[in-house]
Amino acid sequence: MGIARNEGIILPSLSAMDFEKLSGYINAHTGIKMTGGKKSLFESRLQKRLRHLGLKDFGEYCDFLFSGEGSEAELHHMIDAVTTHKTDFFREPDHFDFLSGFVLPELMKNGKDRFLVWSAACSTGEEPYTIAMVLSEFGEKFSPGCLKRFSVLATDISTGAIASGKQAVYREDQAVPIPPDLRKKYLLRSKNRSKRLVRVVPELRDVVCFRRLNLIEDDFGSVEQADIIFCRNVIIYFDMDVQRKLLFRLYGKLAPGGYLFMGHSEAIHGFGLQLAKAGPSVYRKTEKP
């Protein structure tokens, strides 16, 4: 067993063999590629799980994880520990300008009564709440009562991220990317000002439905066909085969004429999908109903 020291505390270190076992397990269950460059970060995050479980080294952790009981009890915790939750309010802001300035007006033209927007990797909730703010603002300016016609589905593989999103409580510094007028309108300050926390107002929390979903393992049977899907900065973590499978499944849940928002560093070319580029990393499903 290797060891590492942290301020006098002896910590178990992750051997190459155990890293290969664990990274293969993660890839099989989530599609996420764990390269050797992530070994140190992986090790430091999982050391907390070892301490919590009272295990002395990663060999014991592997034995526990690969047992019937351990797989059932630990998989979600391990995924929470190793998945990246890089997100911000109004991240890639040109997408939200395009959403309000073009996509929403186009969708409203077809006379549908209800619209579903799916944030397919919502992390701790900043993206779906940003979407809800944009929908609310659009409704007030262009179509009174429009917000009642929209619902936002927010899904993520991490149970911890879903719990945070439902709580809708954020540090004040996390809210900085939100325009000041929208911060004032859609965020409530904590009564204890020393905590420097804010919470999304109830009207927006009611619009967003959070649900745990593994984009690789779970079928999408419980997901209704969506008019808009945000799946940004997700497929970059997968190999080409997993990317193809995921994109086809998302495509199947996108309504004809609906819009798919991808990350700016992601491409969908070569997958044979009937998607026409509509804007910066935004694609419209051209398939007929």
| Contacts for 8 with CB less than 8 Å, ≥ 6 apart | none
Measured over all CA atoms, what is the biggest interatomic distance in the chain, rounded to whole angstroms? 66
Q: Which amino acid is at 204?
A: L
Cβ(177)–Cβ(170) under 8 Å? Answer: no
**Is the Cβ–Cβ distance between 259 and 283 less than 8 Å?**
yes
Selecting among 18, 49, 80, 156, the annotated active-site residue is 156
Q: Are 174 and 89 in contact (CB under 8 A)?
A: yes
Cβ burial, residue 145 (10 Å; 0-12/13-18/19+): exposed
156 is catalytic: yes
Catalytic residue set = 45, 156
